[in-house]
Structure 1
Amino acid sequence: MPIRVPDGLPAAGVLRSENIFVMPESKAVHQDIRPLKVLILNLMPKKIETETQLMRLLSNTPLQVDIELVRVDARASKNTPKEHLDKFYSDFDRVKDKKWDGFIITGAPLGVVPFEDVYYWDTFVEILEWSKSHVTSTLFLCWAAQAALKVIYGMKKETHPKKYSGVFEHSTFNQQHPLVRGFDDVFQAPLSRYAKFCPEDIAEQTDLNIFASTPGAGVYLAATTDCRQVYITGHPEYDFDTLANEYQRDANEGLAPEIPSNYYPQDDVSQVPKATWRSHGNLLYSNWLNYCVYQQTPYNLDELGSID
């Protein structure tokens, strides 16, 4: 089944070139089925790149998914054309009266910034509270995961002196759970964060079930028992060269970054890195859409109840 995207969205052309079934909105409206309505709050600076990465993963299921993009920061972007934002993004006020099957909140390059200093922090907190009664399942990615832990559970921000950057091996737990159904005992996933997610802290301070972690950097995947909230502390959506681009960006800014771990062949930045996490990323998003969204959401979204 296809992913349904707005007519003219740049990601559609990229996905079609990869033989991914993409259906334009103008055609999808004539199908007599209800697609899953998924809202994406895109906080990443390179919004077109992130849109494409996420939609690539969301398209890999038999379910029709209706995407809407939303923003909370109305300031001019240095990395995304204003015309693109004005055409394809809604302000939160335009979507908050609706209910949604799924909600994805991306990461943001704010790893060393105190939460209260984030320009849109108050709006972010409002959106998290709103999601409890308006969304079947919310997926928090990287910075959004740490921010949500702060808002929902009061967990203190724990910042590591050095950035966890690279491809890390993670162990899978609770493999009988649908969210990690089909996962290998260990799998690779990209990390790009300063935050540290200690399993002991999450176990003591939250009611989350932990499904994957890696030594040092800690928890990678966790969720509430009902999967209304799912936390991913890495970036399974990343392209093969995203970490390389981030490394070069930081180097050009004089930050002297360390070479991403387990990423470049022989740690040689002149060589082309290879993605070793695509299958895990596709499976994780497929499981989330199927088990946490599709099989839990009411056909009539108006019947959706609030998180207790």
Structure 2
Amino acid sequence: MPIKIPKLLPAREILERENIFVMDEDRAITQDIRPLNILILNLMPEKEKTEAHLLRLLGNTPLQVNISFLKTASHESKNTSSLHLDQFYTTFAEIKHRKFDGMIITGAPIELLAFEEVDYWKELTNIMDWTKDNVTSTLHICWGAQAALYHHFNITKYELPKKCTGVFWHHIDDQSEKLLRGFDDVYLAPHSRNTDIFIEQLQANPTVKLLSSSEEAGPFIMSANNGKQIMITGHLEYDASTLAEEYRRDLEKGLNILPLHYFPNDDPSKSPTNKWRSHAHLLFSNWLNYYVYQETPFEWD
């Protein structure tokens, strides 16, 4: 089944070139099924790239999915045109009366700030509190995962001595979790961050389960409250070229931080390949099926 997105969203052309099945509102209303309503709070600066990353994965399941994009009202994006935001995004005040089957809260390149120093922190905590009663399952990515762990469970972060960037091997810590059903015993996933969470605090918290981790990159996938909150510290949604683009941006800032295990022979002049795509699709499919579709009510009260 397809993913339903606004007719003029730029990501549509990218997805159709990749043979991802998409439909617009005109065709969707002819189908007599109950679609899943997914809300995406996009905190990344280059919002159109993040839209394509996430829609690619949400659109490759047997379920029809309606997508709504959410922006912060307390922070003005400098990297995405106001026209794009006005056309495709809404604010929390406009949707807080609604119920959503699933939600994604993305990362943001602000991890070196204390959470309370982020200008939209109060708005974000209001949204995260709202998800407890109005969203069946919320998926938090990278900084969004650290924010959720801090706000919901008081698990704090710390600055790493060196940026964690690259593609790392991960293993399964909890074989019984449906989110990882079908995963290989070991698999690759990208990371790109300057902070990490305190593993001691995570292990001491009985509510949060560590599902998968990496010896090099640390805790990766966590779940709480039977999957109502899912936290992922890395970026399975990334394209093959995303870390290379971040590497070049770092170079422009005078930072030569080569992503580990990413470029062929660690040579940044060579094009990297995507070695995590299948597990990215599997994780999002499992999330939509087991934690959203199987758990959400057909009609919200």
Same-fold status (TM-score > 0.5)? yes
Partner of 2:144: 144
CA shift digits 1:172-223 (9 cap, x unpaired): 1222321100000011000011222344321203511111001143110010
Name the amino acid aligned to 2:261: N
Q: Distance in 1 between matches of 2:171 and 2:90?
A: 38
Name the amino acid aligned to 1:293: V
Q: CA deviation at 1:86?
A: 0.6
Kindly, what percent of the aligned residue pairs are identical? 49
Which one is further off, 100-109 or 245-254?
245-254
Unaligned runs of 5+ in 1: 303-308
Check conservation: 1:4, 1:25, Cα contact below 8 A.
yes
The two structures have a TM-score, normalised by structure 2, of: 0.97
Which one is further off, 200-209 or 169-178?
200-209
Q: Distance in 2 between matches of 1:199 and 1:2?
A: 39
Partner of 1:278: 277
Q: Distance in 2 between matches of 1:225 and 1:173?
A: 17
Check conservation: 2:155, 2:197, Cα contact below 8 A.
no
> Partner of 2:157: helix, strand, or coil?
coil
Q: Distance in 1 between matches of 2:206 and 2:97?
A: 29
Partner of 1:53: 53
Size of the aligned set, in residue pairs, is 301
Partner of 1:3: 3
Do the aligned partners of residues 160 and 206 (structure 1) sit closer, same or farther apart at CA in structure 2, a change above 3 Å counting?
A: farther
Q: Distance in 2 between matches of 1:206 and 1:153?
A: 10
> Partner of 1:163: helix, strand, or coil?
strand
Q: Distance in 2 between matches of 1:14 and 1:74?
A: 30
Partner of 1:243: 243
Do the aligned partners of residues 164 and 273 (structure 1) sit closer, same or farther apart at CA in structure 2, a change above 3 Å counting?
A: same
Check conservation: 2:36, 2:64, Cα contact below 8 A.
yes
Which one is further off, 148-157 or 291-300?
148-157
Q: CA deviation at 1:37?
A: 0.2
> Partner of 1:301: helix, strand, or coil?
coil
Structure 1 residue 160 corresponds to structure 2 residue 160: yes
Partner of 1:97: 97
Partner of 2:221: 221
Structure 1 residue 257 corresponds to structure 2 residue 256: yes
Check conservation: 2:70, 2:92, Cα contact below 8 A.
yes
CA shift digits 1:253-288 (9 cap, x unpaired): 12x232000000111111101111101100000000
Do the aligned partners of residues 212 and 230 (structure 1) sit closer, same or farther apart at CA in structure 2, a change above 3 Å counting?
A: same
Partner of 2:84: 84
Name the amino acid aligned to 2:284: Y
Q: Distance in 1 between matches of 2:74 and 2:198?
A: 34
- The correspondence of residues 36-47 of structure 1 with structure 2, limited to 5 A, is 36-47=36-47
Which one is further off, 147-156 or 270-279?
147-156
Partner of 1:32: 32
Partner of 1:306: none
Check conservation: 1:210, 1:219, Cα contact below 8 A.
yes
Do the aligned partners of residues 216 and 200 (structure 1) sit closer, same or farther apart at CA in structure 2, a change above 3 Å counting?
A: farther
- The correspondence of residues 5-20 of structure 1 with structure 2, limited to 5 A, is 5-20=5-20
Check conservation: 1:111, 1:195, Cα contact below 8 A.
yes
Q: CA deviation at 1:77?
A: 3.1
> Partner of 2:126: helix, strand, or coil?
helix
> Partner of 1:158: helix, strand, or coil?
strand
Partner of 1:305: none
